[in-house]
Amino acid sequence: MFEILMAGGWPMLPILLASAVALAIILERFWTLRRKAVVPPGLGTEVREWARTRKLDPEHLNALRTNSPLGELLAAALSVRNRPREIIKERVEDTGRHVVHRLERFLNTLGTIALVAPLLGLLGTVFGLISMFFAVMVSGVGDPLKMAGGIGEALVCTASGLVVAIPAYVFHRYFRGRVGDLVVEMERQVFLLTDELTAVSETTAAPTGVPVRVARTAI
């Protein structure tokens, strides 16, 4: 296998480097984008119970903020829980942009590798054909071994570029989809918490003996 790779010539070096980077990104994203690490099960329910029982001291908020990406969003909402709903929404959106940016970390690099690897393979193919033509110019068509060397270099580079690009593209699309699913779930949990904060706020502000009607408006 090593001899086959080396037959591709120097263009194989950037292709091998791209494959190592792509593999590292794929493994890192699999670990980072685990659902239980991003959206811990039961966290939303626990935080809504905190809001209901007013267990919202700074210690709780600090622990929540460092718990997970979902916890960071919920903590952002709780930090301005006594403000109007529009302020809560703006704070969550500001925090959400940073959270989503971290979830999408390295995905642009993976997409770039998926795009560039075939071009590197094509570059190696061109150099292989050039070396074959030079061999023909020097010794003519009577030496098939020299021609075979150039053709082999071209084919190895083309195949290697595709072998790197196809998995990189597949995993790039897969991780994009996973981030999208996680963002939707985090939005749902923030929506539920905002409704709970609105209910608690209106209950606190309502006069004794007056029934409270909670407005369930969308974020």
pLDDT-derived band at 171, boundaries 50, 70, 90: very high
| Of 119 and 202, more confident | 119
Residues found in the chain: 219
Distance CA 125, CA 155 (A): 6
Label residues 161-179 b or e (16+ Cβ within 10 Å = b).
Answer: beebbebbbebbeebeebb
| 174 is a domain residue | yes
Residue 180 lies in a domain: yes
**Residue 140 counted as domain residue:** no
- Tell me which range, 131-135, 138-142, 167-171, is most confidently predicted by mean pLDDT: 167-171
Tell me the pLDDT tens digit for each residue of 28-86: 999 999 999 999 999 888 888 887 877 677 887 888 888 899 999 999 988 888 888 88
pLDDT at 67: 87
197, 50 in Cβ contact below 8 A? Answer: no
Report if residue 55 sits inside a domain. Answer: yes
The number of distinct structural domains making up the chain is: 1
Q: Is residue 160 part of a domain?
A: no
- pTM for the full predicted model: 0.79
Is 146 a domain residue? no
Of the candidates 186, 202, 176, 214, the one whose C-alpha atom is nearest the C-alpha of residue 93 is: 186
- With respect to residue 134, please indicate whether it lies within any of the assigned structural domains: no
Residue 70 resides in a domain:
yes
pLDDT at residue 102 is higher than 90: yes
> In this predicted structure, what is the pLDDT of residue 188?
92
User: What is the spatial distance between Cα 95 and Cα 56, in angstroms, rounded to a whole number?
Assistant: 19
Q: Which parts of 7-143 fold into alpha helices (H)?
A: 12-32, 35-38, 43-53, 58-65, 69-79, 85-103, 107-139
The residue range of the domain holding 197 is 11-126+165-205
Whether 48 contacts 54, CB under 8 Å: no
- What does the pLDDT read at residue 142? 56
